[in-house]
């Protein structure tokens, strides 16, 4: 476990002005687009949610393209291809973006930028999933979309856009915030379903979006955190969860009193859990890590006490650089272990 100090202060003060301005603009759009009836004014939100088009030309060492899985629900994935050594055995990362299940897309600039940097750093092919959003599409729509993409790439007939040397037996699943929640539930589904060609060997949950009815110490202590607040997370859970559900729903509180999956019996992939000290969801993320360990699963905790929620969107922060190195090391270690196990 990585820690930085015993007396943390938020690293938001180190964020360059352009990122602060962009964060403030997105925060304004999120707050202003929420209607009193629990819906979202998509017209207003889309004015601020700038998109990055796919690029077949190398940009910063990475090419991108979009593959449609189901046009009727705008289900597609953005493919990130690194500059490949033709002799390499290339791993795959299936990635789920954040946004509280209600905001952003695979083509949103922050999501596109992060996946591009992750692709370049790790050398992995990244499949970034564009799933439906709440409240228009509540649980389990996002989970259904995510798993349909996993089944899509599990079918060899659908992998023609992937490089010939991609190894689906070296597949990782990852996500940030709500995407980290999705990554966990997709791993559970994959273990129970039994994919034929895709083998999940690792999971990276970056500040995953979990919660519960109980108020944790971090939720009561961190009231002025940048980017996200407890009031905001409550609104997002209500928008996402089925009508009449509370935050102990198993989608939210995965090891809580209403949990329906006993992952101790599953061949669950090794998991990296990344948390930040200035994230109101910090304690729920720690509980997620502890829950994995109690179920006998391999899990490592990477903790940056100075980090706010979505710090990884700012490449200039030292914690972001450390995170990228940690993810790269995690992937390389598991690939080597997987090769040794197959030899």
- Sign for the CA dihedral angle at 50, 53, 54, 56 comes to negative
Catalytic residue among 177, 184, 261, 283: 177
Give the integer Cα–Cα distance in Å for 140 and 129: 15
Kindly give the residue spans of alpha helices, DSSP state H, lying in the chain: 17-33, 42-48, 109-122, 141-154, 178-193, 217-221, 230-240, 282-294, 318-342
Catalytic residue among 249, 261, 306, 309: 309
Residues in the chain, total: 343
Active-site annotation holds for 309: yes
Q: Which two tokens stand for residue 1?
A: 């476990």
| 75-82 and 125-130 beta bridge pairing | antiparallel
Q: Verify cis geometry, omega within 30 degrees of 0, for the bond prior to 140.
A: yes
Active-site annotation holds for 184: no
Catalytic residue among 112, 145, 279, 283: 279
Classify 234 as helix, strand or coil. helix
Give the integer Cα–Cα distance in Å for 281 and 288: 11
Active site residues: 177, 279, 309
């Amino acid at each position: 476990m990585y820690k930085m100090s015993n007396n943390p202060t938020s690293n938001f003060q180190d964020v360059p002005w352009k990122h602060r301005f962009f964060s403030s603009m997105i925060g304004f759009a999120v707050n202003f687009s929420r209607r009193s009836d629990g819906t979202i004014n998509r017209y207003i939100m889309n004015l601020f949610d700038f998109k990055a088009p796919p690029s077949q030309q190398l940009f910063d060492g990475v090419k991108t393209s979009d593959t449609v899985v189901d046009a009727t629900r705008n289900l597609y994935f953005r493919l990130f291809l690194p500059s490949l050594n033709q002799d390499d055995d290339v791993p795959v990362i299936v990635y789920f973006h954040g946004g509280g299940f209600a905001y952003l897309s695979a083509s949103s600039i922050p999501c596109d930028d992060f996946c591009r940097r992750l692709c370049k750093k790790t050398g992995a092919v990244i499949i970034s999933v564009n799933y439906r959003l709440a409240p228009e599409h509540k649980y389990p729509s996002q989970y259904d979309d995510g798993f349909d993409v996993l089944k899509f790439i599990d079918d060899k007939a659908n992998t023609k856009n992937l490089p010939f040397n991609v190894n689906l037996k070296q597949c990782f699943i990852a996500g940030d915030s709500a995407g980290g929640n999705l990554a966990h539930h997709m791993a559970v589904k994959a273990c129970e379903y039994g994919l034929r060609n895709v083998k999940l060997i690792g999971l990276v949950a970056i500040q995953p979006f979990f919660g519960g009815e109980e108020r944790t110490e971090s939720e009561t202590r961190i009231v002025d955190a940048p980017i996200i607040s407890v009031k905001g997370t409550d609104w997002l859970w209500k928008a996402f969860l089925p009508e009449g559900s509370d935050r102990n729903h198993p989608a939210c509180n995965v090891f809580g009193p209403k949990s329906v999956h006993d992952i101790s019996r599953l061949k669950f992939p090794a998991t990296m859990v990344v948390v930040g000290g200035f994230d109101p969801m910090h304690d729920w993320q720690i509980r997620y890590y502890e829950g994995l360990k109690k179920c006998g699963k391999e899990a490592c905790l990477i903790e940056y006490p100075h980090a706010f929620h979505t710090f990884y969107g700012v490449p200039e922060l030292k914690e972001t650089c450390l995170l990228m190195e940690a993810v790269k090391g995690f992937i390389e270690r598991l690939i080597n272990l997987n090769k040794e196990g197959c030899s």
